[in-house]
C-alpha cells in the first residue's frame, strides 16, 4: 500500500481483527516519511441487490449507506468509531437476512432501529426522508412515538 502523504511504500506494523471478525485493522508506517496511519480491510459481498421503491434493482454499496447515515448524523455528537459500528450493525442485519435481494424498505427499517437507540435527532432526520414526511404533522406523530418508546 502507498503512503497517503508521499505515495511511497509502507509496511504493516500491527494487524488485528476488528468489527467482530468482519474486518482487519492494520497499522502502517511509511518507509520514506515515517508517517503512521490505519487501514481497514472488509469483506465485500458481491451479488447482494437492493430493490428500490420504483422496482429497479441496484447492487448493494456500503458507501451509499454511509452517505445517508452521515447526512442524518451531520453535526451530531457521534464519534467515527461509533459511526463505523453503526454501519457494521446495519450491514449485519442486512446480510443475516440471507437473501440475494433486499428491499430498500428493509434496509431503511434497520437503519431506523439502530438510529433510534443512538441519536433521536438523526433518527427523525432519516425517518423524514425514508418515510417521506409531507407535513409538520408527520414530524409531530413521529416525535410522539419516540417519546412513548423513551419512557
Q: Are residues 32 and 104 in the same domain?
A: no
- Cα 16 to Cα 10, 81, 126, 146, distances in angstroms: 17, 16, 33, 38
Q: What total number of domains does the chain contain?
A: 2
Long-range Cβ pairs for the range 18-26 (8 Å, 24+): 19/84, 19/85, 19/88, 20/88, 22/88, 22/92, 23/88
Whether residue 83 is found in the same domain as residue 134? yes
Kindly state whether residues 68 and 32 are assigned to the same domain: no
Grid cell at residue 78:
457521534
pLDDT in tens, 26-69: 999 999 999 999 998 876 656 789 999 999 999 999 899 999 99
Whether residues 14 and 73 share a domain: the answer is: no
Instruction: Tell whether 8 and 67 lie within a shared domain.
Output: no
Question: Could you tell me the pTM of the whole model?
Answer: 0.69
Range of the domain at 30: 1-43
Task: Let me know whether 81 and 131 are in one domain.
Answer: yes
Amino acid at each position: 500500500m502507498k503512503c497517503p502523504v508521499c505515495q511511497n511504500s509502507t509496511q504493516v506494523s500491527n494487524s488485528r481483527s476488528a468489527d467482530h471478525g468482519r474486518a482487519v485493522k492494520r497499522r502502517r508506517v511509511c518507509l520514506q516519511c515515517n508517517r503512521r496511519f490505519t487501514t481497514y480491510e472488509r469483506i465485500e459481498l458481491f451479488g447482494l441487490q437492493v430493490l428500490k421503491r420504483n422496482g429497479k434493482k441496484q447492487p448493494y454499496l456500503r458507501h451509499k449507506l454511509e452517505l445517508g447515515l452521515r447526512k442524518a448524523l451531520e453535526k451530531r455528537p457521534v464519534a467515527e468509531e461509533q459511526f463505523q459500528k453503526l454501519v457494521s450493525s446495519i450491514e449485519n442485519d442486512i446480510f443475516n437476512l440471507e437473501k440475494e435481494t433486499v428491499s430498500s424498505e428493509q434496509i431503511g427499517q434497520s437503519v431506523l432501529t439502530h438510529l433510534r437507540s443512538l441519536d433521536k435527532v438523526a433518527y427523525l432526520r432519516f425517518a423524514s426522508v425514508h418515510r417521506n414526511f409531507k407535513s409538520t404533522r408527520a414530524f409531530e406523530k413521529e416525535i410522539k412515538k419516540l417519546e412513548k418508546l423513551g419512557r
